[in-house]
Amino acid sequence: MNKRFFFSTLLLLTSASVFAEFKALPDKAPVPKDNPMTPEKIELGKMLYFDPRLSMDGTISCNSCHNVMFHGGDGRPVGAGIHGQRGGRGSPTVWNSAFYSVQFWDGRAVTLEDQAKGPLVNGVEMGMSSHDLVIERVRQIPGYISAFKKVFPKEKNPLTIDNVAKAIASYERTLITPNSPFDKFIKGNKKSLNPQQIRGMKLVDSIGCTSCHAGENFSGEGFALGEGNFQPFPQIPGSKFDKMYDLTSDLGRYEVTKNPEDKNKWRVPTWRNVAISAPYFHNGKVKTLDEAVRVMGKTQLDMDLNDAQVADIVAFLNSLTGEFPKQTMPLLPHTPNFSITPDP
């Protein structure tokens, strides 16, 4: 019998307990005590998430850059905002973002609620000059006034930026993609992964990838809310990839903390759905997953992975594509007889 086939078959039949360091994605995200989820709040958050009127020129919504009809990003190297402006970093996927302990590439926001407030007043993204202006805009839409009163009935003034963020975050916590082939394997279905994917799973563990990409979201494990799993990228500078893909000009976490030790440190991104969320890395410079694997092998582990190793790892990463709950476009509340969208 072919030794490689025998070994792969043996792995396939091995108990999931061998892979105790790997965890299936939960069906539900953790919910903070100060923002309980209700169907009405989720629906309100969904409307706000899709509403471009929350941007200065009425052209950009949360969904513009974090498209839930897609893989949760926008497929561009870097995000695009009002007036066609381009940011300096790619748009991280919103799918499974509820499992992070910090938000944004540089971890400058702790919770989904914190994150939701940021793009609204970012001059390159949605471009509003202040959160007060956001609320003034929303207050002109009668349907939102009634919706906020229904969702936050105990508050005298329910239409606040904090409640806008709470509603959006509640919707985002429904964006979970469980039941990938990998998850099914971990839960006991030994036929859900093929031998190559199992080789890849063993390989990422044995060479050290899972020292950073651990836990149910493959983005780090054991980090309390606000701590964040921040790692240098590149861990081992000086390879050809630094210049080829401009890996070091953006200083990452340092731009937030101004701590020299944080230069070129980034929040470790999830591997969930990574096979369908190209391009890769904070600047979107790498277009293919196999090249991203080679870059990570060299810059983080000082390894020149061969073609067979890359193929096995890519096969495993493909097994992390989960089931996407069906999304429907919300009907946004109207402004009868007038427009609130400003002139360009």
> Which among 113, 125, 172, 216 is annotated as catalytic?
125
Give the helix ranges, DSSP H, for the chain.
3-13, 39-50, 62-65, 112-117, 131-139, 142-151, 161-172, 181-186, 195-206, 240-244, 254-257, 289-301, 307-318
pLDDT attached to residue 344: 65
Q: Which residues make Cβ contacts (< 8 Å) with residue 245, sequence separation at least 6?
A: 281, 283, 285, 286, 295
- Report residue 248 as tokens: 């070091």
The token pair at 134 is: 């956001």
pLDDT for 4 equals 41
Concerning whether 227 is annotated as a catalytic residue, the answer is no
In the chain the domains, ranked by start, together with CATH numbers, are: 3-26+178-318 (1.10.760.10), 39-172 (1.10.760.10)
Q: Would you tell me how many other CB atoms lie within 10 Å of the CB of residue 304? A: 10
Q: Structure pTM?
A: 0.92
Alpha helices in 77-151 (DSSP H): 112-117, 131-139, 142-151
pLDDT computed for residue 7 by the predictor: 39
pLDDT at 83: 92
Q: How far apart are CA 70 and CA 57, in angstroms?
A: 24
Rg (Cα) of the chain, in Å, rounded?
Answer: 22
Evaluate whether 341 touches 335 at the Cβ level (below 8 Å). no
* C-alpha of 309 from chain center: 26
CA separation for the pair 192, 221 (Å, rounded):
25
Helix (H, G, I), strand (E, B) or coil at 230: strand
For the record, the structure tokens of 269 come out as 């991104």
Length of the chain equals 344
CA distance 69 to 63: 9
Q: Give the span between the Cα atoms of 313 and 209, in whole angstroms.
A: 10
Each residue's pLDDT expressed in tens, for the chain with a length of 344 residues: 444 433 343 343 333 334 448 999 999 999 999 999 999 999 999 999 999 999 999 999 999 999 999 999 999 999 999 999 999 999 999 999 999 999 999 999 999 999 999 999 999 999 999 999 999 999 999 999 999 999 999 999 999 999 999 999 999 999 999 999 999 999 999 999 999 999 999 999 999 999 999 999 999 988 999 999 999 999 999 999 999 999 999 999 999 999 999 999 999 999 999 999 999 999 999 999 999 999 999 999 999 999 999 999 999 999 999 999 999 999 999 999 999 987 76
Q: Looking up tokens 């390894």, which residue turns up?
A: 303
DSSP letter at 256 equals H
Instruction: Give the pLDDT confidence score for residue 343 in this predicted structure.
Output: 72
DSSP H or E run through 206: helix 195-206
Q: CA-CA distance, 251 to 233, in Å (whole number)? A: 10
How confident is the model at residue 222, as a pLDDT? 87
Among 59, 152, 168, smallest CA distance to 115 is for: 168
